[in-house]
Amino acid sequence: MRLIQFNSGLCVILKDVHSGGINQNNIHSNNCLTSCSNNNTNNNNNNTRIFQRNCYHPHHHSSTSSITTTTSTISTKSNGSGTYHAKIQQKTPPVSNTVTNTYKTVESRRDKSDSGHVNIRDDEEGHLIYVPGDILHHRYEIRRTLGEGTFGKVVEVRDLRDDGNTRLALKIIKNVEKYREAARLEINVLKTIREKDPDGLNLCVTLLDSFDYYGHMCIAFDMLGLSVFDFLKENNYIPYPLDQVRHISYQLCLAVKYLHETALTHTDLKPENILFVNSDYSMVYNHRKRRDERIVRRTDIKVIDFGSATFDWEHHSTIVSTRHYRAPEVILELGWSQPCDVWSVGCILFELYLGFTLFQTHDNKEHLAMMERILGPIPYRMAKQSKKTKYFYHGRLDWDERSSAGRYVRDNCKPIRRYMMSEEQDHQQLFELIEKMLEYDPKRRITLNEALRHPFFEKLLPEQRIAVNNETKS
């Protein structure tokens, strides 16, 4: 998930999009959050992504209820440049003597909130009903809603312990069993990460607290900045400078390498799940392109969203990863492990460098066709071993280049090296690294330990390098 902090206000929108071919039995949930800036609303409207990103998570079916809804809007000024609007839904029982059994059950076991002035109730979808000022767990005062998703809501809270000035992000999970169980699994992963890396040296978000609040699993985190995707979007998809690509990529490789050494596969790496610690920026005028561009001041990052992270010994679901960053072995149902994360990292490096997604598609066969157009033919052995025989004919991708989809792939995809914006050595080294990460065969794909020793990272500044204990295995 993405927990976003602005200097003068907050505005976060959570999005959960179902992707095709999802295994309904998977208990993990992927929570896609997308943030929007108060200062760049018009830019966001004018720069819409061609393809909407998919998220892999269990399907949710809304239930009906006789509870009525009133909506209030809270406005908070932000430096005079924008206003934050947070809609809070308050549910009140209908004026009727007839109440459903479910509602009676919920009401019978709920008292007052810790602040003592609001009944603890859920809405018809299982979200906790609250208002600013409510105190959870005798410690966290709710300030405002940051975002909402299928899994629940994220709120900004004030930690009343110590000086009471600390602001945190609190993820409040729905009072629904499948989401509670998924949250327990995520908490288990976060606790493992914290135990093995208490100081957060390996750049994974740190679990600060977790508790069960009347059936709602709650997870507390530090407030962070924009995701690298949201910053990119608010900057009109202007790609990051190469030196910033280098530093972000280095940190990403370091964080995911640590997960792999801890017997974990993240399974949902994407730009939305990489957050800047602080996304403050400077505005620079580009004379050559005659436009203002945002340059983030510090490129320190944290990797977030471990809702679908999987230990080596756990059940591996058939389909994982958000579509655009999904490895070929996942699409072909050949089984997956840590190398599928490396493929995702390669796609992310490309996106940071170019400003757009490498594989912009929602269809499996078209996705494979794009891979072949960009990276060359899929290995015959992988095609023959795949359970997806309908995609192939005699070991070759069954793809009609004369169809409308075929023309789209031909017109919008080209061999990987033709995307280079310069022939300089730095650019050559980056694309050599990306090619090694986008190796079809997961057994031949570069590991992140090897990637960190790649010449592309030799030009990192001394202060950008992070000294960590490589002995992360227990």
- List pLDDT tens digits, range 338-352: 999 999 999 999 999
Same domain, 246 and 354: yes
Q: Is 362 exposed, middle or buried (0-12, 13-18, 19+ CB in 10 A)?
A: middle
Q: How confident is the model at residue 237 (pLDDT cuts 50, 70, 90)?
A: very high
The helix/strand/coil state of 212 is strand
Question: Residue 447: inside a domain, yes or no?
Answer: yes
Question: Residue 7: inside a domain, yes or no?
Answer: no
Same domain, 236 and 204: no
Tally the residues of the chain. 474
Cα 135 off chain centre by: 28
Same domain, 312 and 391: yes
Structural contact between residues 127 and 67, judged by C-beta atoms closer than 8 angstroms: no
Same domain, 239 and 144: no
How much of the chain, in percent, has pLDDT values that exceed 90? 65
Candidates 261, 438, 245, 233; CA nearest to 345 is: 438
Same domain, 159 and 246: no
Single out the residue in 196, 222, 248 at which a domain terminates: 222
Question: Residue 114: inside a domain, yes or no?
Answer: no
Single out the residue in 222, 248, 271 at which a domain terminates: 222
Q: How confident is the model at residue 47 (pLDDT cuts 50, 70, 90)?
A: very low
Task: List the CATH number of the domain containing 343.
Answer: 1.10.510.10
The helix/strand/coil state of 411 is helix
Q: What is the pLDDT of residue 113?
A: 53
Higher pLDDT, 235 or 124: 235
Question: Residue 250: inside a domain, yes or no?
Answer: yes
Question: Residue 472: inside a domain, yes or no?
Answer: no
Same domain, 237 and 134: no
For residue range 97-139, what is the model confidence (pLDDT) as tens digits?
A: 444 444 443 333 334 455 555 568 888 899 999 999 999 999 9
For residue range 400-438, what is the model confidence (pLDDT) as tens digits?
A: 999 999 999 999 999 999 999 999 999 999 999 999 999
Q: Which residues are annotated as a binding site?
A: 171
Question: Residue 469: inside a domain, yes or no?
Answer: no
Task: List the CATH number of the domain containing 154.
Answer: 3.30.200.20
User: How many other CB atoms are found less than 10 A from the CB of residue 287?
Assistant: 7
Tell me which residue has tokens 């994982």. 320
Same domain, 282 and 385: yes
DSSP string, 138-190: TTEEEEEEEEEETTEEEEEEEE-STTS-EEEEEEEE-S-HHHHHHHHHHHHHH
Same domain, 162 and 259: no
Q: What is the pLDDT of residue 58?
A: 35
Same domain, 194 and 271: no
pLDDT averaged over every residue in the chain = 81
For residue range 286-306, what is the model confidence (pLDDT) as tens digits?
A: 898 889 999 999 999 999 999
Same domain, 300 and 270: yes
Q: Which residues are annotated as a binding site for ATP?
A: 171
Same domain, 328 and 396: yes
Domain that holds residue 139: 121-222
Question: Residue 36: inside a domain, yes or no?
Answer: no
Catalytic residue selected from 134, 222, 230, 268: 268
Torsion 191-194-197-198 (CA) sign: negative
Q: How many domains does the chain divide into? A: 2
Q: How confident is the model at residue 146 (pLDDT cuts 50, 70, 90)?
A: confident
Question: Residue 8: inside a domain, yes or no?
Answer: no
Q: Does the annotation count 268 as an active-site position?
A: yes
